[in-house]
Chains A and B, each alone.
Chain A
């Protein structure tokens, strides 16, 4: 066993795992905070919806598409000045979170928009007929009804973020992916590569099954 994993420094692995979890947690939190309202806005101003705004929706839609089509690695570098402005540093976990959030928010917002579109129009209509305000329609009908879809969107986004964090090594944010690249790939330490990839796999598995369970729990259909 020792001989097989000769290059593996478990302390180093522990630190990297922690870094990955921090990056994931921090960026997921902010992605949801920004992405959920953006998704709701996209939905409401979209075609045939409550606040249909053709021009506004087209512009918002274009911006999200541009951000989504940008490769994350480019975003990471282009964002450096902005990141420094926000966090005071472009390095480490803190330096990785802003580009992760900017990369994942448009993606998440689109998924939220789709989840909201799945809500039966009749439910919005019934809620309107009760004399609900727009705010009440959003918070008492749309979001509760779309909850399973939004949880599924969060799961997919979290898993996407895990793969993004692997590239965050470029700004010295560390993490498991960084370890895999620096040691496993560049120094041919296959054992480090295998261990880190396995840990990433376990993380993705956990995220997926927790997400799936929550979706089932909140689906009353």
Chain B
């Protein structure tokens, strides 16, 4: 087999992975009938979720995130529009076709939704038993390896009630992976967990995405979750997708007020405090955004020397978006050649935004 004919071989020739959408929405919308009236939950939207990526959906409670997610495996029937998943037209699937399709899409939930009457191993085995295509010994082997993958070897024969929240979600993940799905849907999978456990579960999800090449669609109401593991993000507000794009783009340069609020929450920025700080300094105030390698370069000192400006750092944060480092500083510049300083910074790939 030649290299060119191998699926996905194109990836080798580009710096960025080639983008092949695995989930496509065309003008999909959904309204629920409540007390005889149709209440829209999701406004007509177009969406393309690239294969192998972690796609985040963020929005406040009631924004329509779960509705959108549940349309993907047709737990909800769309009111209109076309949904295509892994090359299949989901909207036209009939009974058995729909069930076979659902086996290719795993799902995990905020409240885990494990069967309390079954042990960890029985829960993980359930999708395989229902599919009825494997022998019990093959199922047992597979279940054992899945349980190992999520690090629960010692708990295989326990009941969910005997596990912690993080362990329960690991069972949920193992169960969702049992039928070797192409896509994993995560509905607020970490919202019921404490911060430390959240970190561990997110890490597990990122590993699964990396090792198995699974596409993840992940709902959250925390920008921090998006920042830590997502490649792309869509922001939902009252049933509308108000912003979407690569996480770095949306996170570092939010456009819509809802997105801005989410970012401020994540960064713990207090708008009022910031403006109080502004009153204490002179000169031009800029927000500098570093992304990638520039984050580590000793830029500020050099620019200050070359342009003869003085600077005061008012606030700042250095962190990572997925694996890529970024820095965002609010800096007041004084004296010297401000124009030149700004040019030097821009030339070094620093994004500038004038705040005063």
Contact = CB atoms under 8 A, between A and B. Distances in A.
A130 B127 contact: yes
Interface stretch (A37-45, A85-93, A137-145, A208-216): A137-145
B107 A126 contact: yes
For B105, B111, B130, which residue has the most chain A Cβ atoms within 10 angstroms? B130
B138 interface: no
Contacts of A141: 115
Contact of A123 (B98, B99, B105, B113): B113
Contacts of A128: 75, 102
A122 B75 CA distance: 12
B75 A123 contact: no
Interface string A107-143: 0000000000000101101111111110010001100
Nearest to B162: A220
A182 interface: no
Nearest to B131: A131
A218 interface: yes
A68 interface: no
B127 A144 contact: no
Given A128-B75, A129-B75, A123 B102 contact: no
B interface: dominant SS:
mixed
Contacts of A125: 75, 109, 113
Interface in B85-117: 98-103, 105-107, 109, 111, 113-117
A220 B100 CA distance: 31
Given A122-B109, A122-B113, A144-B118, A133 B129 contact: no
Interface residues of A, number: 21
A221 B116 contact: yes
Contact of B113 (A120, A133, A144, A147): A120
A194 B111 CA distance: 54
Contacts of B160: 220
A147 B117 CA distance: 8
B129 A140 contact: yes
B103 A131 contact: yes
Contacts of A122: 109, 111, 113
B240 interface: no
Contacts of B106: 129
Contacts of A129: 73, 75, 102, 105-107, 185
Nearest to B122: A144
Contacts of A136: 130
B278 interface: no
B97 to A, nearest CB: 10
Given A144-B115, A144-B117, A131 B75 contact: no
A128 B109 CA distance: 13
A132 B116 CA distance: 18
Contacts of A123: 113-115
Interface in B297-351: none
Contacts of B99: 131-133
Contacts of B129: 140
Interface in B162-200: 179, 185
Contacts of B111: 120, 122
A21 B130 CA distance: 40
For A131, A140, A141, which residue has the most chain B Cβ atoms within 10 angstroms? A131
Interface string B123-142: 00011011100000000000
A126 B109 contact: yes
A130 B187 CA distance: 15
A220 B102 contact: no
Contacts of A133: 99
Given A125-B113, A130-B127, A133-B99, 5 more contacts: A123-B115, A129-B185, A144-B117, A145-B117, A147-B117
11 contacts: A126-B107, A127-B126, A129-B75, A129-B185, A131-B99, A131-B131, A133-B99, A144-B115, A218-B117, A221-B116, A221-B161
- Pairs A-B, 10 closest by C-beta atoms: A131-B102, A126-B113, A122-B113, A220-B159, A131-B99, A130-B127, A129-B107, A144-B117, A131-B103, A132-B130
